[in-house]
Amino acid sequence: MDIIKELEEAKKMDASFENILGSMCTMPHKIAIKAYEMFIETNLGDYELFKGTKWIEDKAIKWVAKFMHAPPSYAGLLTSGGTESNITALWIFKKLGKKREVLVPKQAHFSFMKASSILDLKLNVVDSKYFMKGKDVRKKISGKTACVVAIAGNTPFGYIDEIEEIAEICNDENVFLHVDAAFGGFIAPFVSKKIFDFRAKISSLCIDAHKMGMACIPCGFLLLRNKEWIEEIKVKSRCTHTKFQAGLLGTRPGASAASAYAVMNYLGYKGYEKIAKECMENTEYLAILLDKNGIDYFDYELNLIAIRSNKAVDVAKKLADMKWFVGIDEENKIIRIVLMPHVRKDIIDKFVTDLRKVI
């Protein structure tokens, strides 16, 4: 079939994961792919038809809720990923609080800019250095604040905001706190002592299975402390067999739920822990190599190393010419290496050899 050949040709133009060092996505686990394929035709936008798939989705949500220490009152949504989760959380809190200002750390993901544009929310950017502290929030929070956003594993540095302290402040001030753990959610519990989940007084949390959760794209989760909040965004459907829908999207792949649940079940907490520790080992391995070569970098907290460079764009371009794809952050003058499960020690060796030539 000609089309298969054409697709194969196209595929050759894609970067290989062997060379992708700056992405928070990775090769899905083989069991995730198998499960995705089994459920490829299912539609959770009309789950009355796909009761088995819905059952699997519920199990996946329950797994994540337990993992994130959600209280019994929680509600969970399976989403297409962090952007949808973040927009949905802010949508709910805007409806609940009738206020329009959101405090976000300087390091917040650009999905909050989308949320601001769509929801007509004003982003009040906290000038947090590297990560957001309780005192930063205390200074800015006010009667106008609809919601505070904190991050577990921020994009530039992989740092975790002072979430326990921020949660106390938000709780005192009666302001919602949304935690963006899209990246950190599936690694921080295993390698950091910081509490960023529902054990702190947070209102909601997003966590992506298609990042460190090793499920297939598209798959994230949004957890809410109080299931009643979901009523704010429920819409009646008169065309699907399912009478109400809560969530941004309509038709959505049941395969995502199967894929995420399959990995959760197959790996379990222990399996994820093993992967997380391996990633941190590789992060340390990279750090040692950088030290040896006199290459400067920021302290790391999760499996992400921000290498200092005044010529980040230039260095990244030269690396790209050698087929290495790293994250670039001009503002912070860094190139970012995310030590995802596909970034093994032999890859790190080769990369540092090339990096030395151009930095």
Q: Which of residues 129-158 bind a second copy (CB under 8 A)?
A: 155-156
Integer Cα distance of 94 and 100 in angstroms? 6
Bridge partners, 153 (sequence order): none
Of 36, 63, 130, 300, the one binding a second copy by CB under 8 A = 36
Is there a contact between 36 and 27 (Cβ–Cβ < 8 Å)?
A: no
Integer Cα distance of 163 and 169 in angstroms? 10
Taking CB under 8 A as the binding criterion, the range among 48-56, 137-145, 223-231, 284-292 that sits at the site for a second copy is 48-56
Of 101, 151, 179, 210, the one binding a second copy by CB under 8 A = 210
Interface with a second copy in residues 78-107 (CB under 8 A): 80-84, 87, 91, 95
Task: Find the shortest distance in angstroms from Cβ 43 to a second copy.
Answer: 5
Nearer to a second copy, 4 or 270 (CB): 4
- Answer positive or negative: Cα dihedral of 71, 248, 141, 64: positive
Of 98, 193, 236, 270, the one binding a second copy by CB under 8 A = 236
Position 310 contacts a second copy (CB under 8 A): no
Task: Find the shortest distance in angstroms from Cβ 216 to a second copy.
Answer: 6
Taking CB under 8 A as the binding criterion, the range among 172-180, 239-247, 275-283, 285-293 that sits at the site for a second copy is 239-247
Bridge partners, 244 (sequence order): 236
Size of the chain in residues: 359
Taking CB under 8 A as the binding criterion, the range among 108-116, 142-150, 162-170, 278-286 that sits at the site for a second copy is 108-116
What is the CB neighbour count within 10 angstroms for residue 289? 18
By three-state DSSP, how is residue 222 classified? strand
Interface with a second copy in residues 322-351 (CB under 8 A): 325, 327-331, 336
Integer Cα distance of 156 and 178 in angstroms? 19
Nearer to a second copy, 120 or 346 (CB): 120
Integer Cα distance of 192 and 178 in angstroms? 20
